[in-house]
Amino acid sequence: MKIDPGLRDQILATVPSLRAFAISLCGNVDRADDLVQETLLRALANIHSFQPGTNLSAWLFTILRNLFRSEYRKRKREVEDTDGSFAESLKSYPEQVGRVEFQEFRAALAQLPAEQREALILVGASGFSYEEAADICECAVGTIKSRVNRARSRLAKLLAIDNVDDFGPDHATRAVLIGHDN
């Protein structure tokens, strides 16, 4: 099949960000790359349904997210999996999740519910607006905002307690943080 060269270049330009999103979602580079490949194949097979001039990157992210969710649901049925055991698997195979300096952050991220994780990444890292993220996740803008807020609060708690030196200047800070939610 012939792909419009401009469109092909745009799709390729989105690949690095799609990978970053996929790795953040599944915590495993190989699985993430397979997910990106599936996304590209799915996108090209349905390229006629893409409206030129609309947001290509949001369209690709939507496809990737849907593929991830259906795969995730399948795996969940196969092995009774939870976000907690997913986090455990990350700890067992730290070499799969990229550079050492981000391992702790990724591990904390993996402890968030999937919906909060994706919302936070789309808005906080991929640079989508709340409205675009809501379209990608097929939910209301207010839902995205609340998921992002909950994700941030939860991460603050996880990281502040686990890694006081990086996230708080001293023990007094830690006491404040720990006491904050009690």
Partner 1 sequence: MSTRKPGQPSEKMHTDSTGGKPHSGLNREIQTKIGQQLRAMYDDVVQEGVPDRFADLLRRIDNPADEGKTE
Dist. CA 122–CA 129, nearest whole Å:
8
Alpha helices per DSSP H over the chain = 5-26, 29-45, 56-78, 83-92, 103-110, 114-124, 130-137, 141-162, 164-167, 171-180
User: Least CB distance from residue 58 to partner 1, whole Å?
Assistant: 16
Using CB under 8 A, pick the residue from 73, 93, 149, 175 that binds partner 1: 149
Q: Does 133 bind partner 1 (CB under 8 A)?
A: no
Q: In this complex, which beta carbon is closest to partner 1, that of residue 109 or of residue 134?
A: 109
Least Cβ distance, residue 144 to partner 1 (angstroms): 12
Binder of partner 1 out of 114, 141, 156, 164 (CB under 8 A): 156
User: CB 17 → partner 1: shortest distance, Å?
Assistant: 6
- Count Cβ atoms within 10 A of the Cβ of residue 43 and give its class: 0-12 exposed, 13-18 middle, 19 or more buried: buried
Position 115, amino acid = E
Binding of residue 31 to partner 1 (CB under 8 A): no
